[in-house]
Amino acid sequence: MRVLAALSGGVDSSVAAAELVAAGHEVVAVTMRLWGGPSDRGCCSVSDVEDARRVAAQLGLEHHVFDFAEQFDAHVVEPYVQAHATGRTPNPCVECNRHLKFDALLERADVLGFDAVATGHHARIVEHEGRRHVARGSDAAKDQSYVLHPLVAPATERVLFPIGGLTKAEVRERATRLGLRTARKPDSQDTCFITASGGRAAFLGPRTGLHPGEVVDVDGAPVGRVDAVELVTIGQRRGLELAGGGGRRYVVDVDVPARRVVVGPSEQLRRGSVALERVVWNGPVPTGAVDVQTSAHGTPAAAIVTGADPVAGTAEVRWERSRPRVAPGQSVVVYRGDVVLGGGVAASGPEPGPSAAADADPALLGDLEEPSGP
């Protein structure tokens, strides 16, 4: 099989390419140039491109660099900026996978006559009810199936994850055995276009403006101020510097136009459901109990899917036990066991309060869980 292997310059994609070569495939390596601005972490630095080139040479592979910077800016960077400007909490890695690492790369593979595209993601492709689905990788600590949920058939028919059945330790051991220069390279962390030195504030400030705002409790009483309402997210507890005593308080709402952040105790975050938009399903809308995950490495929770409209791309997830509110803009991914069935994005708009969620179905209320900050 003729395979276009995405080589990012990290150890995972390096070993993925090596596995393809060992399996006898005809492999050509490609590095996607996505972000042209400053980068001191992530997978978009100049040094990563050079590492990818050298690994390709070690493996005897033809290597190319595809410039997708314009698409990356349009589909990942600009939506990231606009999300913060409107009080949403974006997930740029999901959008990068959705638009660049698969849509754009698969289109290029079609033009060039490749049978499949391969990446170094820690995930698997499995058969489920007659379709190929993304599924959790073997290494639970490194599993990336959550950020791959937009990948559905027919694209899953042409995608390979060669290291999905390996642990990270096994990946590094194979890289060491092969003498690959990336064997001990640290993993990429965080958003590639946000520098560690400047953070979100330095990136967003010149692009959208950052505005100070007041912090009030659920009764409207002032309890503090924040330097930038655009940088506050639902569920946040740290960095608020609130006045007054009492127990822990969390962000329960963010109103960017009003420059206001509302905080309250953890029970004020409890919700019985979450409305979704931009939903994609790999097959029929699931019925019955499913597992739903609301962060990349969060604990799945039992739920059911209701009110799904595949044409409009909307649905609602109703929790078996009430859960902390999902920040608008965050991905909500539906599983059955290890298999990804689909997912969407937590919608903006009016949210039912905790009492409304409880009144809708008392069985949804469970023991309170402490939400985590960003």
Q: φ, ψ for residue 116 (rounded to 5)?
A: -155, 165
100 and 159 together in one domain: yes
Whole-angstrom CA distances from 190 to 40, 93, 110, 195, 374 are 11, 9, 31, 9, 12
Three-class SS state of 319: strand
Q: Which pair of structure tokens corresponds to residue 198? A: 């400047």
159 and 295 together in one domain: no
Three-class SS state of 98: helix
146 and 241 together in one domain: no
- Partners of 127 in the β-ladder: 132
253 and 281 together in one domain: no
**Domain membership flag for residue 372:** no
Q: Which pair of structure tokens corresponds to residue 86? A: 């409107």
| Domain closes at, from 222, 246, 264 | 264
Q: Which pair of structure tokens corresponds to residue 338? A: 């290890």
Q: Does residue 363 have a pLDDT over 60? A: no
260 and 310 together in one domain: no
357 and 252 together in one domain: no
Kindly report the CATH number assigned to the domain that includes residue 167. 3.40.50.620
pLDDT tens-place string over residues 157-197: 999 999 999 999 999 999 999 999 999 998 876 688 888 78
**Domain membership flag for residue 191:** no
pLDDT of residue 46: 67
Whether the CB-CB separation of 351 and 325 falls below 8 Å is answered with: yes
pLDDT band at 365 (very low <50, low <70, confident <90, very high): very low
Task: Give the C-alpha separation, 247 to 242, whole Å.
Answer: 11
The average confidence (pLDDT) of the chain is 89
**Domain membership flag for residue 370:** no
Whether the CB-CB separation of 158 and 9 falls below 8 Å is answered with: no
| Domain closes at, from 264, 292, 310 | 264
Whether the CB-CB separation of 313 and 278 falls below 8 Å is answered with: yes
**Domain membership flag for residue 317:** yes
Task: Give the C-alpha separation, 322 to 361, whole Å.
Answer: 10
> Is 43 one of the catalytic residues?
no
**Domain membership flag for residue 148:** yes
**Domain membership flag for residue 340:** yes
Q: Which pair of structure tokens corresponds to residue 306? A: 């209701």
Residues in the chain: 374
Q: Which pair of structure tokens corresponds to residue 197? A: 């030195």
162 and 15 together in one domain: yes
What DSSP element (H or E) covers 95? helix 92-96
Domain span including residue 92: 2-178
The total domain count for the chain is: 3
pLDDT of residue 359: 37
Give me the mean pLDDT over the 111-116 stretch: 96
Residue matched to tokens 């469970």: 366
Residue matched to tokens 């033809």: 62
Q: Does residue 145 have a pLDDT over 80? A: yes
Give me the mean pLDDT over the 319-342 stretch: 97
55 and 160 together in one domain: yes
Q: Which pair of structure tokens corresponds to residue 342? A: 């689909």
pLDDT tens-place string over residues 31-84: 999 887 766 555 556 678 999 999 999 999 999 999 999 999 999 999 999 999
59 and 96 together in one domain: yes
**Domain membership flag for residue 202:** no
**Domain membership flag for residue 59:** yes
- Partners of 124 in the β-ladder: 135
126 and 70 together in one domain: yes
224 and 103 together in one domain: no
pTM surpassing 0.85? yes
Kindly report the CATH number assigned to the domain that includes residue 278. 2.40.30.10
| Domain closes at, from 264, 280, 309 | 264
Please report the DSSP string for 156-186 in residue order.
GGGEE-TTTTS-HHHHHHHHHHHT-TTTTPP
Pick the catalytic residue: 43, 44, 93, 96? 96
Q: Is 273 left (phi over 0), alpha (psi -120 to 50) or beta?
A: beta
253 and 282 together in one domain: no
> Is 96 one of the catalytic residues?
yes
Bridge-based pairing of strands 213-217 and 222-226 is antiparallel
Residue matched to tokens 């997708």: 68
